[in-house]
Amino acid sequence: MTGTWVAGPTNSIVDVDGLRVGHHTRTGNGWLTGTTVVVGPPEGMVGGVDVRGGGPGTRETDVLGLTTAQTPVHAVVLGGGSAFGLAAASGVADSLEEDGVGVEVTTPYGTMTVPIVPAAIVFDLGRGGDPKCRPDPGFGAAAYRAASTEPPAQGCVGAGTGSVAGAIKGGIGSASVVIDGAVTVAVITAVNAAGSAVDPANGELYGVRFGLPGEYDRLRAPATPELDRARAGGQVHPPSAHAPAGPAPLNTTIGVVATDAVLTRPQCTKLAAVVHDGMARALRPCHSMQDGDSVFALATGRGPSPDDGLFFSILAAGADCFARAVVNAMLAATSVTTPVGSWPSYLDLMPSAMEAKGQQ
Interacting residue with a second copy among 41, 54, 285, 304 (CB under 8 A): 54
Alpha carbon distance 27, 132 (integer Å) = 13
Determine if 341 is a binding residue for a second copy (CB under 8 A).
yes
Q: Smaller CB distance to a second copy: residue 71 or 149?
A: 71
Give every CB contact of residue 60 below 8 A, 6+ residues apart in sequence.
Answer: 89, 116, 117, 118, 119
Q: How many CA atoms lie within 13 A of 185 on its CB side?
A: 32
Q: Which is nearer to a second copy, 87 or 286 (CB)?
A: 87
Residue 340 lies near a second copy (rule: CB under 8 A) = yes
Residue 84: count of CB within 10 angstroms of its CB: 18
The answer to whether 138 contacts a second copy (rule: CB under 8 A) is no
Indicate left, alpha or beta for 10 from its phi (over 0: left) and psi (-120 to 50: alpha).
alpha
Piece of 99-107, 190-198, 257-265, 268-276 that binds a second copy (CB under 8 A) = 99-107
Residue 192 sits in the site that holds a second copy (CB under 8 A): no
As a dihedral over the C-alpha atoms of residue 6, residue 8, residue 13, residue 19, rounded to 10 degrees, the angle is -140
Query: Do the Cβ atoms of 262 and 182 come closer than 8 Å?
Result: no
3-class DSSP state of 13: helix
Terminal alpha carbon distance of the chain: 32
Given the rule CB under 8 A, which of 36-44, 108-116, 271-279, 327-335 is the region that contacts a second copy? 108-116
**Using the rule CB under 8 A, is 44 a contact of a second copy?**
no
Of 1, 2, 109, 360, which lies in the binding site for a second copy, with binding defined by CB under 8 A? Answer: 109
Using the rule CB under 8 A, which residue among 21, 45, 76, 117 binds a second copy?
117
Binding site for a second copy (CB under 8 A): 51, 53-63, 65, 67-69, 71, 82-84, 86-87, 89-90, 93-94, 97, 103-110, 112, 114-117, 123, 125-127, 129, 131, 136-137, 245-250, 289-290, 292, 294, 340-341
